[in-house]
Structure 1
Amino acid sequence: MMTAEGAPKKTDDFFFKLLLVGDGGVGKSSILLKFVGDVFDTRCVATLAVEVKIKTVELNGKEVKLQIWDTAGGEKFSGVSTSCFIRTAGIIMVYDMTNKKSFEHITSNWLQNVQDNTNEDVQKVLLANKCDLYDQRMVSKEKGESFAQENGMRFFESSAKTNINVETAILTLVEDIIEKNPTASLLPK
């Protein structure tokens, strides 16, 4: 639970801030809603700046509170999302596997934005969303896997609509954060 001031209660073992980045329309908000509330809404509206959701999970007997920031994907909001990188422990980079430009923007814009605004301890996951639309695929699984491997991040194909790999990808990211940089927690030591 959070206190009135927004600080984690002492009962949480870990408290991490995660950030969803990627172009508008790739499904970042849908991924967040599926993970936090097991909801998928086809009428999901575009995020205008930043939306923050909190979920507590149990991993390996530890209570982990996650503060997940869903950023707007449009270019006009890039300044807003840049300021969101402060104190971020993990990044979820999302592209739509049916939209080649969204993948190209990950490789040409979003990764650079992440590298410019975080340190090397920040863990990253690359999500190819909308894998339920496999007949409309424009980016091969191999291309996504190769890019992720070259840039030191995990790769998953996901679908917020059919709940494929949403929880798995996020919990794997959190496990990586705890394993590789356990001091990334926002809890006082």
Structure 2
Amino acid sequence: MLNLVLFGPPGAGKGTQSAKLIEKYDLHHISTGDMFRAHIKDQTELGKQVSQIIADGNLVPDSITIAMIEEEISNNPAVKGFIFDGFPRTVAQAEALDKFMESKNMPISGVIALDVNEQELTQRIAKRQEISGRADDAADKLKRRIEEYFGKTVHVLPYYEAKGNLTKVNGIGDIQAIFGELSSIIDRY
């Protein structure tokens, strides 16, 4: 089973590359952002609980996020693997994910971090906001999300680096070339 964590700040291209990787490797996509947006749209209890948190640009508490991820994994026992997009965002989430996946005998195969500088991120998300109108892409919320990533989330990388399963990839450039580099890394798993 192939289980990947695709890591990077908001606007790094995780969603774009995830779509390509899902198609090539037949993986089940787990995006906490997409899951939260779906819950909010459907006005579920979880959606009501996290709506304001996300709208303010803050991270949803680990306990809620981890429970949602575990449920999604358990609901998809027959897949060839998972690609985690935007999760984990804290060391506690990374530890919980590793523990849960190992308990299911499905350890994380590898972690790939897309490196993109802040200037490029700001340009990409401004363009995405024009197209999609996503509330979490508004300038004030974007700034908070990028600060959250570089202030907190980036600290998950040393956790995976210490485990020996982190690879960094330049996330700036031709989308297909980046995909080719990601594929060559994944093929080694």
- TM-score normalised to structure 1 length: 0.44
The structure, 1 or 2, with the larger RCO (C-alpha pairs under 8 Å, 6+ apart) is: 2
Query: Greater share of strand residues, 1 or 2?
Result: 1
Query: Greater share of helix residues, 1 or 2?
Result: 2
- TM-score normalised to structure 2 length: 0.44
